[in-house]
Chain A
Amino acid sequence: MNRYDAIVIGAGHNGLTNAAYLAKAGLNVVVLEKNAYIGGAAVSRELHPGWVYSNCSYVCSMLRQAIHRDLDLSRHGLILVPYLGTISFGDGDGRLFAYHNPDAAYLELKRHSPHDADAMHRFHADLTRYSQLIRKTLMRTPPEPTSFRPKDILEFLYLAKQFWSLGEREIYEYVRFFTISAADFLDDYFENELIKAAMASPGIIGTALGVYSPGSAYILLHHAMGDVDGNIGAWGLARGGMGAISTALACAVRSHGGEICTQAGVRKVLVENRKAVGVMLENGDELRARIVVSNLDAKRTFTRIMDKADLPEGIFEKACNFKIRGSSGKVNIALSGLPRFSGVPDDRYINRGGQTFNGSLETMERAYDCWKRGRWSDNPFIESVIPSGSDPTVAPPGCHWMSNFIQYCPSSLSDGLWSPEKRERFGQTVIDKIERYSPGFRNLIVHMEVRTPHEIESEIGLTEGNIFQGELTIDQLFFNRPFPGYGQYRMPVRNLYMCGSSTHPGGGVSSACGANAAREILIDLRRPNTVPKDDFYDE
């Protein structure tokens, strides 16, 4: 029987990060992955010869730079390339171009509303201030609010100091910010419908909330707090697709002596005397280890690979009620050429980056109404990127691929289960909408991969296809993530830890959850810390 120091379940980016830091501390680590490929939701696959999709996550800005640098991911082949230009499409002819140059961006906003062009400065300053505070917590373990241990008290003092540095007025604003909707937040700044719609869209991506739902303002911030080389809010592409991040992390794991096993799905976490002692694989093999780390979401960890009898009272129920609602679909489309959009100039810096099909706040809210009723909208919100416009490695020369993220797509439909036929119709809805803005788009399609929450769950194991491994609402954030009392990566069974996005700081390809969990594990195992401190440009 194999014996390890640590078993990490799931080779997603957080699992790999966790394993890399444990291995770096000298532990004998194995990462177990159910699929034949690694990466979880940070994955690149060539489903049609010549085209490499980022099948799930598609852009990157939250990956902690300190981890990138510390694990030497560049040497392991990772390069993050910023992409330029996003077009926001209104319901009719409305077009808003996010030019890279600040002067050009200002004039473009002014074309829509002189008021909003000026208001954007205040909006950016406020959002930057809020995100700088949140960013400080990303690579720190949340303090336990009921604990009197010096470590937790010191952490609270640290937070209080950061909070206080905002100034009194901003503290009130900040608290308010956590509970309001994206639409309410934006109303305080903007008047133009298209600008509001464009700025609101990060508030709903990946979440089962609408632009008018309380809590969506925080989601907006969660998406805006990333940065590429200090440019807050900028987004980058991993050269070679998001899988390049996982590949580089896997190289880091191996370079520190860690092992990665694919096609090794875990059936059950073995618990003896209320301690996790190893895992049983799908094939019946047993692996033993001092500790077990689950990179699966909280619901899957406690309801699928653990026995209810092994858990303290109430945990199973908490896991069942963990808010992890599927709300998004993904359509990856291989194209024989660059799509042209009506009303968009032939500007290479604007027409090969991102597109958001926003419509208006009203359009987005109606799409949410459909989701609530177990349907998808005929007029969904789509956030698209053409990675091949910036990355020469993911499509043949002259050809492209377009990543389309669709909000909303229910995980269970009012008229029964998902079927291949319904999935096909969902895909056609997306193409129909893009075709309305890009006549002839349909003729460019070479291949297409449609992923509803059903596919996302069955292929990469995210419950209900929720991309964040659990909603990012305040009841499930910070020391409440995944459950109150378990915000420090240690789970209710001894020697069992969690390191996925179900833990603080939540979803996004940040590697922070995995690194934070590693730091806590190394404290418990009395090993020297290998996890770096975060670094910030604003200090």
Chain B
Amino acid sequence: MNDEHTADAYAGERLKLSPFHSRQAALNIRDAWASWNGYKFAPYYYDPVYEYFCVRNSCGTYDICPMQKYEIRGRDAEPMLNRLVTRDVRKIGLHRVGYSVWCTDEGRMIDDGTIFRLADDRFMLTCGSSCIAWLEKSTFGFDDVTVTDISDALGGLSLQGPTSCAVLKRMGFKGIGSAKPFDVMRFPFHGDELMISRTGFTGDLGYELWLHAELALQVWDELYAAGEDYGIQPYGEAATNMARLEAAFIMPAMEFNEALRTVHFEHDQTPFELNLGWLVDFDKPHFNGRSALWREKQRGPRYTLTRLDVEGNKPAAGAYIYPTRRCTREIGYVTSAMWSPAVKANLALAMIKTEHMDGDLWAEIYYEKELRPYRRIARCKRINKPFWMPERARATPPPDY
């Protein structure tokens, strides 16, 4: 046979497979697949709500291999990152992780992500979508810094939920209980090394495991053997989205539109608009977008991302926000909404014009019942704290469940 017959004519169109794929495919018993950054990716494995409850009640794993991971090393790595992001990278200690955002000169948000300080001159930056071009631009003027895309070589698996620490302890990682939130620990693993950070995207107790892609199946098998008695279950995009909304974490393409992909004027966001002003440190050396952000801080953001508890039980997805029940003049819009089974509340994140934030807020909600559309006007209450913030998420050592 010649190559023309054996080669996959559609190879260029097919999705990449995560190093965990074979194990995940076996558990994806409803054959539910979508994609993320070119990887075949599960929206759910069995049932979205069931998986969400695993995260809140036992533990679950979420494949973060498709996330972008960059290694930034060199004497100038720290100043270069500090020039890039809004928070002071110098304050991120060794073996610590910091959440940050980076902006354009106009102070509009390009992306958010986490920065791991792995050594004095070595960092890892993770984020949702590829930004190598921007990173390379950002090295301009720095002599000793290299940026390497390690996304494919480094696998990642997020383990989240109340029993996650117990599972890691059973897996043999002594001392993991002493890891504080945003700590990084390293453990020898079959002649190689496993890096575990106490981080996650669920607002609950949880960890992220970082490993060379070749170790993926071994890590998976040992993790699932240890987790068998602790209710371990893979979870997909749908459950992640529920958990992160309860924790009031922002999501690209939901709460913010990446600045470098934004066509229309100011359809992107500033950190202040996203309620991330605490991440912008004007006391540190110059960083990208500083003067624009300074002006924004003085003036106040046009919109402010607001946490809402919406009356009733109809999720306010896509709803407009009004200052009166009559719904005549829009003052904002809902970016994400859900009924929260754990909190038992109707949650929403909404961008609201800042000057209206303290007034009455009403959401105009459309929903459907047996194909017939219905409309409901619901009063909204502003909530200051994240909707979900259990003590175990911050406790060190964390409880076993």
Contacts and interface: CB of A to CB of B under 8 A. Distances in A.
Q: Are the chains A and B members of one assembly?
A: yes
Interface of A: 65, 68-69, 73-74, 79-82, 84, 100-101, 228-230, 239, 349, 390-393, 397-398, 535-538
A67 B36 CA distance: 40
B50 A392 contact: no
B57 A79 contact: yes
B339 A230 contact: yes
B401 interface: yes
Nearest to A231: B49
A349 B46 contact: yes
A68 B231 contact: no
Nearest to A65: B344
Contacts of A239: 57
B231 A390 contact: yes
B166 interface: yes
B126 to A, nearest CB: 29
A84 B50 contact: yes
Given A79-B57, A239-B57, A535 B312 contact: yes
Interface residues of B, number: 27
Contacts of A100: 46-47, 50
B369 interface: yes
22 contacts: A65-B313, A65-B344, A69-B344, A79-B57, A81-B56, A81-B57, A82-B50, A100-B46, A100-B50, A229-B339, A230-B339, A239-B57, A349-B46, A390-B57, A391-B57, A392-B58, A392-B162, A397-B166, A397-B170, A397-B230, A398-B228, A398-B229
A74 B162 CA distance: 16
Given A390-B231, A393-B401, 15 more contacts: A74-B343, A79-B56, A81-B56, A81-B57, A100-B46, A100-B47, A101-B47, A229-B339, A390-B57, A390-B58, A392-B163, A397-B230, A398-B228, A537-B313, A538-B369
Interface string B295-317: 00000000000000000110000
A84 B53 CA distance: 11
B229 A397 contact: yes
A537 B50 CA distance: 19
Contacts of B56: 79, 81
A240 to B, nearest CB: 9
Interface string B337-348: 001011111000
B50 A535 contact: no
A239 B392 CA distance: 15
A38 B162 CA distance: 26
Given A392-B57, A397-B229, A537-B313, A68 B50 contact: no
A536 B367 CA distance: 14
A390 B345 CA distance: 23
Nearest to A337: B229
A378 to B, nearest CB: 35
B127 to A, nearest CB: 32
B279 to A, nearest CB: 27
Nearest to B341: A229
B30 interface: yes
Contacts of B342: 74, 79
Given A81-B57, A230-B339, A101 B30 contact: yes
Interface string B243-261: 0000000000000000000
A80 B53 CA distance: 9
A65 B228 CA distance: 32
A84, A101, A239, most chain B CB atoms within 10 A: A239
Given A390-B231, A397-B166, A397-B229, A82 B344 contact: no
A52 B230 CA distance: 16
A81 B58 CA distance: 10
A382 B339 CA distance: 35
A82 B231 contact: no
B47, B163, B344, most chain A CB atoms within 10 A: B344
A537 B56 CA distance: 23
Given A65-B344, A74-B343, A230-B339, A392 B230 contact: yes
Nearest to A400: B229
Q: Which 5 A-B pairs have the closest CB atoms?
A: A397-B229, A398-B229, A392-B401, A69-B344, A229-B341
Nearest to A71: B344
A100 B29 CA distance: 12
B347 to A, nearest CB: 12
B229 A73 contact: no
B120 to A, nearest CB: 40
A100 B44 CA distance: 14
A456 to B, nearest CB: 29
Interface in B27-67: 30, 46-47, 49-50, 53, 56-58
Contacts of B163: 392
Interface in B220-245: 228-231
Contacts of B231: 390, 392
B248 to A, nearest CB: 15
A178 B170 CA distance: 54
A230 B57 contact: no
Contacts of B49: 82, 229
A234 to B, nearest CB: 10
Contacts of A73: 344
A80 B56 CA distance: 10
B249 to A, nearest CB: 19
Contacts of B344: 65, 68-69, 73-74
B345 A69 contact: yes
Nearest to A104: B30
Contacts of A392: 57-58, 162-163, 230-231, 401
Interface string B138-179: 000000000000000000000000110010001000000000
A391 B230 CA distance: 9
Contacts of B369: 538
Contact of A81 (B53, B228, B313): B53
A53 to B, nearest CB: 17
Contacts of B339: 229-230
Nearest to B343: A74
A230 B312 CA distance: 12
B389 to A, nearest CB: 10
B170 to A, nearest CB: 8
Contacts of A390: 57-58, 231
A65 B340 CA distance: 12
Nearest to A537: B313
Contacts of A538: 369
Contacts of A74: 342-345
A228 B342 CA distance: 11
Contacts of B47: 84, 100-101
Nearest to B161: A392
A390 B30 CA distance: 21
Contacts of A391: 57
A79 B401 CA distance: 13
A535 B339 CA distance: 13
A391 B163 CA distance: 11
Nearest to B309: A69
A73 B342 CA distance: 10
Contacts of A393: 401
B309 to A, nearest CB: 9
A222 to B, nearest CB: 22
A250 to B, nearest CB: 18
B30, B53, B312, B345, most chain A CB atoms within 10 A: B53
Nearest to A230: B313
Nearest to A536: B313
Nearest to B29: A349
B53 A535 contact: no
A432 B54 CA distance: 34
Contacts of B345: 69, 74
Interface string B262-276: 000000000000000
A65 B313 CA distance: 10
A247 to B, nearest CB: 16
